[in-house]
Amino acid sequence: MKLYTRRKRYKIKILFVLIIILLLCVMAGKILNSDVTLPPLGNTAHHTASEDNGWNLILVNRDNCIPADYEVQLTELSNGEKVDSRIYPELQEMFNAAREQGYGLFVREGYRTQEEQQQLLNEKIKVYENEGKSKFKAKKLAKEWVAVPGTSEHQLGIAVDINADITKSSSDDVYNWLAENAHRYGFIKCYPSDKTDITGVMNEPWHYRYVGKEAALEIYSQGICLEEYIDMLN
């Protein structure tokens, strides 16, 4: 009699476990077939950058990508780099002023194609992988220094990386001159060290972009970045 009772209890337990498993399977099936949207893994969504404030104030960054139909007419510089033809006069004016004051400088990087931007990112990822970083970590670190293709100001043609001609000037001297004078010619330092939490980009004292003289003066005077300026306009 005791043996029969034990067997009966055992069967009941097995039946109970099977019912629980069945219920869990049914619930899982409902979830998978429902319209519930799971949150994305990481910030991968981008909006299309707006040109409502003018071509010179288009905001392209980690959250705003270049419009698919964006076109640019380029002017080639003496060293082969290219820039948007609309910024060339002010860029030349700025360089002439710096050189008249004894500074040696040149455009290290101007316009980049989508393919060139992708190559730069791939190379940076490879550097971190060679240091022993995992693929995931290497990509994360690389994106702190190199913009994802489609989100780089260099692809607009209105941004330049300016380096010193070290036979004439030190890098610090050139960067300091640009920081104090670039706004006079319509250019701003896009990635200051104290705005990294907003721009998402490490300090780049060589990276300048054209916004126009009026906007540049306002941004410089208030000590803000382009993202904050655009917020003020909107």
Active site residues: 204
How big is the chain, counted in residues?
Answer: 234
**CA distances to 18, 75, 106, 113, 230 from 180, in Å:** 74, 26, 17, 30, 22
The neighbour count for residue 139, using CB atoms within 10 Å, is: 17
Which helix (DSSP H) or strand (DSSP E) does residue 4 occupy?
Answer: helix 2-33
- Name the E strands within 125-230: 159-164, 187-189, 207-210
Q: Is 219 exposed, middle or buried (0-12, 13-18, 19+ CB in 10 A)?
A: buried
Greatest Cα pair distance in the chain: 109
**And the tokens for 213?**
């003289």
Which helix (DSSP H) or strand (DSSP E) does residue 219 occupy?
Answer: helix 213-222
d(CA 145, CA 143): 5
